[in-house]
Amino acid sequence: MKTNTKTALIIGVNGQDGRLLFEMLTESGYSIIGIGKKTIKTNKNNWAKKIDIDKQESVFDLIKKTKPDEIYYLAAFLFSAQDKRPDFYNDLKESYQVHVLSLLNFLEAVRLFSPKTKLFYAASSLMFGDCKTKRQTEATPFNPNTAYGLTKMDGTILCRFYREKYKIFTAVGIMYNHESKYRTDNFISMKIIKGAKNIASGKQKTLVIGDLYAVVDWGYAPDYVRAMTLILNLKRGDNFIIASGQTHSVLHLVKIAFTHYGLDYRKYIKENKSLITKKRNTLVGNAKKLKDASGWKPSVNFDEMINKIIKDLEK
């Protein structure tokens, strides 16, 4: 293990990116406090007091006592395209609390008690929503059409405000779809991979997919988490798109997964478009700014990523 005296807070430590980041920073020698909905996860740090990110007093106390070098704000109120969603009012209300108001608690705590702390905010390609351009850059206008995209946009603007007005180091990663072994089963990537495995073992007979021909800019989550750490090591904070810049269809993913298990997908896949509860535009990110600033680039292509995830799940 490398030696490192830095302290990091990971808000949203139990999600895919939080788990990967905890592992990566631990390997680099960081002292970490990870905050989940109802849990505290630490490696070297003995902090055990419950943190409620909704409560200003709780967050202020944490920042005053720890004065972390880095904060990764990864908390999200998120649904997949096939999830049953709450009504828009409650969706928006919960999203604002997680993506904006709780974020504000951390930004204000940093301003008041630890102004040298660097903060990374995980935003989303869904901020572009009904986008008129085929490929988005950091200069592409936001046009969200979901509560998630709308509130992530407001969180991004809030980070810029603190960066410009108070000279706090805030950086925003505009994250496109990214996958790993830690993806939850309600996401299409894991539904397909585990579905193919279950069919091969006789545990499942068919797999129902909402739209085989939907195309997505998909990347490998460990690469995107590595991008977060590179961004916080830059001289100044800014907004950066984190994306592969390549699109692949759901059908392509199906073919890779089923081929791995020696299956002809056509015998097992059924399509049911009524499963899609929200229709999204195809969004493709241009990560040139990030690559130029940090040297970041994806470590694997799409086929390699899916095969790697399959093998990781088999271990």
- Between CA 209 and CA 157 the distance in angstroms is 36
What predicted TM-score, i.e. pTM, was given to this entire model? Answer: 0.94
Domain ranges, residue 95: 7-181+218-245+284-299
What b-and-e string marks burial along 113-128, b requiring 16 or more CB atoms within 10 Å of the CB?
Answer: bbeebbbbbbbbbbbb
Is 207 within a domain?
no
Nearest Cα to Cα of residue 288 among 256, 246, 250, 241 = 241
Could you give the number of structural domains in the chain?
1
What are the pLDDT tens digits along the chain (315 aa)?
A: 455 689 999 999 999 999 999 999 999 999 999 999 888 999 987 777 889 999 999 999 999 999 999 999 999 987 554 445 568 888 899 999 999 999 999 999 999 999 999 999 999 999 999 998 989 999 999 999 999 999 999 999 999 999 999 999 999 999 999 999 999 998 999 999 999 999 999 999 999 998 999 999 999 999 999 999 999 999 999 999 999 999 999 999 999 999 999 999 999 999 988 776 666 789 999 999 999 999 999 999 999 999 999 999 988
Is 264 within a domain?
no
Nearest Cα to Cα of residue 182 among 7, 12, 11 = 12
Q: What is the pLDDT of residues 222-259, one digit of tens each?
A: 999 999 999 999 999 999 999 999 999 999 999 999 99
Q: Which residues contact 157 (CB under 8 A, 6 or more apart)?
A: none
- The domain that holds 138 is classified in CATH as 3.40.50.720
Residues in the chain, total: 315
* Sign of CA pseudo-dihedral 121, 124, 129, 131: positive
User: For 26-76, where are the E strands, in sequence order?
Assistant: 31-35, 40-42, 70-73
Q: What is the pLDDT of residues 204-219, one digit of tens each?
A: 999 999 899 999 999 9
Is 52 within a domain?
yes
Is 20 within a domain?
yes
pLDDT, position 274: 77
Is 263 within a domain?
no
Is 250 within a domain?
no
Is 2 within a domain?
no
Continuous segment of H or E residues that includes residue 110: helix 102-113
**Per-residue 3-state assignment (H helix, E strand, C coil) for 262-309:** CCCHHHCEEECHHHCCCCCCCCCECCHHHHHHHCCCCCCCHHHHHHHH
Instruction: Say what percent of the chain tops pLDDT 70.
Output: 95
Nearest Cα to Cα of residue 44 among 103, 107, 1 = 1
Is 133 within a domain?
yes
- Between CA 80 and CA 189 the distance in angstroms is 11
